[in-house]
Structure 1
């Protein structure tokens, strides 16, 4: 038991170091436009996967969105065998840190989730990095789970490129849905469990504050736990 506890503590320390990085300027908040192509997904809960840097913040933001029923941190793009934090953080796998979002389209549509994602979660101009974190595992990507989501994602990326809200080109990828593997339990609900963690305070709490400021009607004070 003592050895297991020591291993867990060491793994958390590695995760913390990898997600902290050097001190950099705060990520830019951009109020993205409403999508011209509105998602038509029908009734019932839907899922979508978003990769936008360290999954703590991606999960944290979506967990405060009305209509989101669950947000799970995990790995997408690689094999099941390589889907562990220790391996993924090495940067040698095809995985990206990602979050699977389950939502009710009667409350929040996929195109509205995209707007929130590009406004406060990720910088779409950063290639294989996000904020202080570097490596292909921190790439920003959309992983549509249906033909409708795919069409909406393509249309919205085209709309953003035309809008030219950022000084650099958008490099966000649309990736084919593959296996999604939930991350280790200590990564789940990380913002909720560790509100005073240095990385959360520095990088992720401001994203939630921006969500509340820019989209008050979509913001939920309560945290949707996994």
Structure 2
């Protein structure tokens, strides 16, 4: 009798444990979707920029009232009505400071202007430099020549001859689609033609009988 009670109690306990475990476990939860919010790729939006100005070179001062030693610099080629720009440096290779006076630009064709002046009023110590940016716009195709001069308070003069070339813009080419060819309709015989007799075929004529 004790064994039966003991077995019944064990079965009851096991059933209670199973029911408790089921109640605590609950229903399976749905998996949570995890989204990757990191940005993929390295794409950047950049707007086209204008090409940098050409580095024309250095200009050294000439003697008192001189012409700068005949320095000649070439400006990049450009199309008509488009600016050709370049930047040059005035370099003081003298043994004394030089104070640059207002610049002057002249040309034999088109328009030559100083668009960036980092030298006027500047005192250049020996071996120091300053920058000048020039721009030329041509209305006619061909070569042109210009001059930029800058005297100094001490006497020496910065002077440079600029040369360049203007070209006409390339004509725009437009491709037109080819015109469709007319449909060829085969000729239909009208059925009223008379067959031609071959050339060179003669029909014999019977001669009359003699009586």
Query: Shorter-chain-normalised TM-score: which range?
Result: under 0.3
Q: Which structure dedicates a bigger proportion of its chain to strand? A: 2
Higher relative contact order (CA 8 A, sep 6+): 1
Q: Which structure dedicates a bigger proportion of its chain to helix? A: 1
How high is the TM-score relative to the length of structure 2?
Answer: 0.19
